[in-house]
Amino acid sequence: MLSNFPIPHPDETLYSLVARYGDWLRYPSHKRLFREVFGAETGTATIEFPSRLAAFMSRLPVGHPCAGPSLLVEHTLLPWYSPFMPDDRVGRLRSAMLGDGGGAAPGLVGLQASRVRVPAFLRFCPECFREDHRDGHELYWRRLHQVTGIEACPRHAVWLADSPVPRLDRVTRHSFEVPADGLRDVEPVRVGRTGESLLRVARLGERLLLPEWPSLPLEVLHRNLHCLLAGAGYSFPRGRTIRARRLVEAVCEHYPHDFLRKLGGTSWIHRLIHSPRGVQSPIRWLAMLGFLGVELEALFDPGQREMIQAKEGPGCRNPVCPASGRATCFWRSEFSSDLDAEVDLFRCEACGRVVGRCPKSREGEWVRDYGALWRKRLAALWGDPGQSLRGLSRALRVDPLTAKRQALKVGLAFPRRGKRETTTRGLADMLRSRLDRVPSLRKRWLGARTKHPDLGTKALRQKHPALYASLYRLDREWLVANQPPRVPRAPGLSRVDWVKRDQRLSNDVIGTAEQLRKVPFRPRRVTATAVIRAAGAISWLPKLDKLPKTRKALRKLEEGRLRFARRRVEHLVAESVAEGRQLRAWQVQRKAGLRLELVDSPELRGVVDGALARLAVAAERN
């Protein structure tokens, strides 16, 4: 069980999370770390396409932010590739990553065929690292910075730098490395005017990773690209023929030579415009958009109706809908892990009913959400004792059991009064999970709200992730109705009494750090993040600039690598003395997880020597 797996930062790669976990626990061997995290010995520590993610997720504690579908979306490069791949391939890529098919991934995204090379080293933005440090957490590897063709940090407009950690030609393929602290001292280099074109590509890249792009057929993307090229004057008047040579020349002039070399030359430009079904590396699409000076929206525009005809929805079959019978619109697609396939969702604008469609499912089409209008009608009929269950179901065009299920779901009263009483017969499975657990879940949630009256939904959810997840699944409507109120903030008026909060929190962190240092078993490094998390105040971390006392206290409490190493040695000595064990120098190094560069520092050498002496004295006494 990975009970202390770190909480991810925005855009952090899974590689980085595993590295931080291994670093924190001082794993003696990469292989053991790999086995504990992924449940297997074979595999590679990869940025691009980690696999065995299902096994990994099952090892996390319930409610950990990495234990759900957001892992793939927020901490792997899946969203980088998926908008440019056919749906069925996205499904296969997902399964490969969840299972042990990591090796198949590069082929699926077309990387093997393309000449886009992976950067040789893990890369970073010095400004981002400085910010990490200033915000009091560990440095971490970001996803975007590791992508070929992303040369600058879009947030700071500085060039990315190579770290000493190699991605290619590694000695051991299991090793996960954290960024060395010293990397934040690397001097950032601003992107000048000549680098504007690359900065634009990086900005497009940053937006591409947001989970908001539709999955459109490649033909649609292709057609949109042709429209954009025509608009920029790269097709002959009234023709669909592209002036390819002029285009290539202009692209070469727009970007530095080195950038195009990393993208594998210029021959991809022909393939991009001429083969509508070919899978192309996303960075090439971005390079083309950057060249044309347009945003991602222009490419991902579903466009005229003809383009999405392939996804024309079924007619709305809601009998109480004013637009009943009219075709519904394609809304979005989502991945269903039950079906292991993409599901298209169609939504009726008039009544909110959502229908799912997937050729892989038994039904083909099914109602995903009956919609607010339908539910309102259900509630009205339910409360009318003159209505029989059968009549009510007929009016709503569902079978009686479905009507009952929906009634239970929205919390209508059981048994229902009528000529014949409607009981919960047939709903045993739903009831068991609901009625058993829901009341206590509700009570706990309300308790948490009372205990933390000043926390918003997000913070409360972070405090009680498992509770929130259960309520979300079993009792969503109630949860939404019982979230902390959103208080609109008057401009210039702060809701929080910062001075008071600062006073309290600074006291809290001092006490908490004390406790952290006393934790038995493995010593744990006292970092600002660890302290503030243990104090139950992780949500205040981004607000530290408003909490000067707390910030100062944290800075004082924070343990450097050396101080932490010394504490580990002391802990080891105490433990060994208690157990009457004798250790040699190398065993101290190994068991306390001292890195070579640390052992060589004179200060620590003194500590280790002292420890050995104390152990020898203790051994004599025995």
Q: Which residues are near Zn ion by CB under 5 A?
A: 125, 127-128, 153, 155-156, 316, 318, 321, 323, 348, 350-351
Measured from the CB atom, the residue of 197 and 324 that comes closer to Zn ion is 324
Measured from the CB atom, the residue of 153 and 272 that comes closer to Zn ion is 153
Measured from the CB atom, the residue of 160 and 292 that comes closer to Zn ion is 160
Is the distance from CB of 406 to CB of 375 less than 8 angstroms? Answer: yes
Q: What element of type H or E holds 225? A: helix 218-231
Least CB distance to Zn ion at residue 323 (A)? 5
Is the distance from CB of 479 to CB of 464 less than 8 angstroms? Answer: no
Nearest to 319 by CA among 371, 384, 356: 371
Measured from the CB atom, the residue of 316 and 389 that comes closer to Zn ion is 316
Q: How far apart are CA 112 and CA 512, in angstroms?
A: 51
Least CB distance to Zn ion at residue 133 (A)? 13
Measured from the CB atom, the residue of 133 and 155 that comes closer to Zn ion is 155
Least CB distance to Zn ion at residue 128 (A)? 3
Least CB distance to Zn ion at residue 229 (A)? 32
Least CB distance to Zn ion at residue 144 (A)? 9
Measured from the CB atom, the residue of 5 and 346 that comes closer to Zn ion is 346
Nearest to 77 by CA among 114, 50, 39, 111: 50
Measured from the CB atom, the residue of 169 and 187 that comes closer to Zn ion is 187
HEC sequence for 379-411:
HHHHCCCCCCHHHHHHHHCCCHHHHHHHHHHCC
Helix (H, G, I), strand (E, B) or coil at 531: helix
Least CB distance to Zn ion at residue 331 (A)? 13
Helix (H, G, I), strand (E, B) or coil at 242: strand
Least CB distance to Zn ion at residue 132 (A)? 10
Is the distance from CB of 337 to CB of 365 less than 8 angstroms? Answer: no
Phi-psi label, residue 41: left if phi above 0, alpha if psi -120 to 50, beta otherwise: alpha
Q: How far apart are CA 500 and CA 490, in angstroms?
A: 20
Least CB distance to Zn ion at residue 131 (A)? 7
- Helix 218-231, helix 267-274: angle, nearest 10: 110
What DSSP designation does 114 have? S
